[in-house]
Chains A and B, each alone.
Chain A
Amino acid sequence: MTVLRVYTDLVGESARRGELPAAEHLAALSRELALMESLVGVPRPAGAAAPAPAPAAAAGRPDLVAILSTLVESYRAAHASRIRLDFVAEEPEIPVSAEPVALQRAFRNVLDNAVKYTPAGGQVRVRASVVSQHAFVVISDTGAGMSPDEQKLAFAPAWRSPSAVASGIPGRGIGLGVTKELLEQNGGKISLLSEPGHGLEVTIMFPLGREGRT
């Protein structure tokens, strides 16, 4: 939200000075706005192009492998000194029918949580594969994990698991609820598997094979 606010302010200020806003500010603003729209569920006007800062195999059919590998790279750059981040893709390309920006945000949320709640020396693995016409992305960490009760509540908005609160790591807590919405709006599904103390495994699933590649 803050990032959106900042770019809105900057574009507004340029306008008030009678100048053209900087191209990179507009691009960033557009990106964040699209994100907000997908969160709020605003339908795209017919014919409008999706903003695609994410790599796309074809317009509207972003490539999961490319999105994930870019994301993992940026997290690795930020956290290499603390934890190990691995990405394994069983296919070279996995195009899905979904909003590229929404996908980015959803995966970003899950990766954020995984990285935050994995203590130093731990590991986060991302694995992308295709099984019977479905794309699977599994993100697993070696953090505190969640009990079955915590897992039930995890998708409620503004919720943090007691073990997360106990870990003392400050967190935003709205990740999984919003992530679930983003994914479901785009035809995807999310589920959790965990044992407290043994990390968390988040599985995200997308149906493949929508007719007609554009």
Chain B
Amino acid sequence: MKPTQRREPLRIVSREAPVEAPEIEKLRLESLLHDPVTGLTLHPFGDLKGERVANLGVIYVQLGRFAGVESLYGWELYDRILRVTAASLREDVPASPFAPGFLTMSFNGSDGVFVLFDLARRAPGKKGGTLESEAARLRLGVIRRLKQALGRSSVDLMHVHATALAVPDDPRVRPGRNVMRALAEASRLADARESGEKKSFVERLKAILSGRKLRAVFQPIVAVKTGQVLGYEALIRGPQDHELEMPDDLFAVAREGDLLLELESLCIETVFSSLPRVARGKRLFVNASSRLLTHSVFLDDRNLAEMKRAHGDVVLELSEKEVVFNYPAFREVVARLRAAGFGFAIDDAGSGYSGLESIVQLRPEYVKVAHTLVSGLQADRIKREIIGSLAALARRIDAELIAEGIEDPAELASLEDLGVPWGQGFLFGRPAARPVVLRPPAANPARPRS
């Protein structure tokens, strides 16, 4: 077979005149100014063309920073959230009485959208009140469409805020800077509103902690091939139907209120005092942070002995995102806990960016594959490849993979093909105070399940 015509592989750049690349620079600059996800400009006053606006109206819609939405849900979901938000605003703004004066809409690059109006050009006689009420209307539209798109009640977790601000022009001030100050002020207002909410949440958390109102639920971890139970992961819940029922919310508020250690201690206490009978004789997987593990309260010999007495086979789950190994102190702690009979697991592996060094250095017995990687892996080759390399790494360090968040028999079949030994997820059983192990339907009827 003759090869087709082969071209010169290297473009020899002319040596006489070093090539500047003006068109390429232009493209780079354009990408700096424009956000591809929302389709919005990142530069709030680009569209104002240097004009002075006698009375500028700013509406700022902020997606709650409160719960660290993106690191909770992952970048793909956050992309969707942003797109829905931008689309919602694009749809609702034209109905505003301020619409004739609409100037521009811009993204702040992380979690908020600014809508700018020339208030002087407001539609005369049109009903619909103040800038503030417009902000509220736009906010409700965003929340409604987010609920529609995401179909989850955890949208409430996001605390979408909207603030409004009218900024008169000051001829002594440069117009661009005037606008930037206005935007900064609108952000500050949104933050203040958020922190007011935060304060009340912190009070509610304090009530939960002092009343010891946490509950522990347990979810089975089973063998992918046979359904045999390896153990149970202990998960924390706040009071039922409480705003702070889910651990993400509890920990987010604890972080805000600097109550993380208190919360974690109560979590451990709650877990060990409510172990279900089925968990005896099986491994117990308990979430712990490096903050907790290195604290004297936890490392106290009596405390460790009591934990061992309550359950003799405990694996501590550390999130990949927060594993820190450069501190000799932490390595000592790990050694001490190992000597005391604790095992280790890296949680949420493959979703963080710490790379694989943390996994290799901890030498955990288990590596838990993040549910974002497991979700839909049967149709996503890249996810399968990442899980494949995690499996190869695990083999090299004598660790076993546990796939989290298995919801679908097709996911299970793919995981079995990849040789992942253990699994956890709704398919095998939901977290409950007295957990029930489910036998998943065989994805492939040719595969018998014992």
B18 within 8 Å of A (CB atoms): yes
Check if A80 sits within 8 Å of B19, measured CB to CB: yes
CA distance A81 to B16 in the complex (A): 11
A180 within 8 Å of B (CB atoms): no
CA distance A76 to B13 in the complex (A): 8
A77 within 8 Å of B (CB atoms): yes
B10 within 8 Å of A (CB atoms): yes
Residues of A within 8 A of B20 (CB): 81
CA distance A2 to B11 in the complex (A): 22
Chain B residue at minimum C-beta to C-beta distance from A82: B18
A78 within 8 Å of B (CB atoms): yes
Check if A77 sits within 8 Å of B10, measured CB to CB: yes
B12 within 8 Å of A (CB atoms): yes
Residues of B within 8 A of A78 (CB): 10, 13
Check if A80 sits within 8 Å of B10, measured CB to CB: no
Which residues of A, 118-175, contact B by the 8 Å Cβ criterion? none
The list of the 9 closest CB pairs from A to B, nearest first, reads: A80-B13, A81-B19, A80-B18, A77-B12, A81-B18, A77-B13, A81-B21, A77-B10, A81-B13
CB pairs A–B below 8 angstroms (17 shown): A74-B10, A76-B15, A77-B10, A77-B11, A77-B12, A77-B13, A78-B10, A78-B13, A80-B13, A80-B15, A80-B18, A80-B19, A81-B13, A81-B18, A81-B19, A81-B20, A81-B21
CA distance A76 to B12 in the complex (A): 9
Which residues of A, 51-78, contact B by the 8 Å Cβ criterion? 74, 76-78
Q: How many residues of B contact A (CB 8 A)?
A: 9
CA distance A77 to B19 in the complex (A): 11
CA distance A20 to B193 in the complex (A): 75
Please indicate which of the listed interface residues A76, A78, A80 has the most CB atoms of chain B within 10 Å of its own CB. Answer: A80
The 8 A CB mask of B16-28 against A (1 = contact, 0 = none) is 0011110000000
How many Å from the CB of A57 to the closest CB on chain B? 26
CA distance A76 to B19 in the complex (A): 12
Which residues of A, 83-134, contact B by the 8 Å Cβ criterion? none
Chain A residue at minimum C-beta to C-beta distance from B17: A80
CA distance A74 to B11 in the complex (A): 10
CA distance A77 to B13 in the complex (A): 5
CA distance A74 to B10 in the complex (A): 9
Residues of A within 8 A of B10 (CB): 74, 77-78
CA distance A37 to B20 in the complex (A): 41
Chain B residue at minimum C-beta to C-beta distance from A17: B1
Chain A residue at minimum C-beta to C-beta distance from B10: A77
Chain A residue at minimum C-beta to C-beta distance from B14: A80
How many Å from the CB of A173 to the closest CB on chain B? 13
Residues of A within 8 A of B15 (CB): 76, 80
How many Å from the CB of B29 to the closest CB on chain A? 15
How many Å from the CB of A110 to the closest CB on chain B? 21
How many Å from the CB of B28 to the closest CB on chain A? 12
CA distance A80 to B21 in the complex (A): 11
CA distance A81 to B11 in the complex (A): 12
Residues of A within 8 A of B21 (CB): 81
Chain B residue at minimum C-beta to C-beta distance from A22: B3
CA distance A78 to B13 in the complex (A): 7
Residues of A within 8 A of B12 (CB): 77
Residues of B within 8 A of A74 (CB): 10
Residues of B within 8 A of A77 (CB): 10-13
Q: A76-B15, A80-B13, A80-B19 are in contact. List 13 more A-B contacts (CB 8 A).
A: A74-B10, A77-B10, A77-B11, A77-B12, A77-B13, A78-B10, A78-B13, A80-B15, A81-B13, A81-B18, A81-B19, A81-B20, A81-B21
Residues of A within 8 A of B11 (CB): 77
How many Å from the CB of B156 to the closest CB on chain A? 37
Chain B residue at minimum C-beta to C-beta distance from A84: B18
How many Å from the CB of A22 to the closest CB on chain B? 8
CA distance A81 to B17 in the complex (A): 9
Residues of B within 8 A of A81 (CB): 13, 18-21
Chain B residue at minimum C-beta to C-beta distance from A81: B19
How many Å from the CB of A6 to the closest CB on chain B? 14
CA distance A190 to B375 in the complex (A): 51
Chain A residue at minimum C-beta to C-beta distance from B19: A81
How many Å from the CB of A148 to the closest CB on chain B? 21
CA distance A80 to B19 in the complex (A): 7
How many Å from the CB of B21 to the closest CB on chain A? 6
How many Å from the CB of A85 to the closest CB on chain B? 10
CA distance A74 to B12 in the complex (A): 9
Chain A residue at minimum C-beta to C-beta distance from B6: A24
Residues of A within 8 A of B19 (CB): 80-81
CA distance A76 to B15 in the complex (A): 8
The 8 A CB mask of B222-249 against A (1 = contact, 0 = none) is 0000000000000000000000000000
Residues of B within 8 A of A76 (CB): 15
Which residues of B, 15-60, contact A by the 8 Å Cβ criterion? 15, 18-21
How many Å from the CB of A97 to the closest CB on chain B? 31
Chain A residue at minimum C-beta to C-beta distance from B21: A81
CA distance A78 to B9 in the complex (A): 12
The 8 A CB mask of B116-133 against A (1 = contact, 0 = none) is 000000000000000000
Which residues of A, 25-43, contact B by the 8 Å Cβ criterion? none
Chain A residue at minimum C-beta to C-beta distance from B12: A77
CA distance A80 to B13 in the complex (A): 7
Residues of B within 8 A of A80 (CB): 13, 15, 18-19
CA distance A78 to B10 in the complex (A): 8
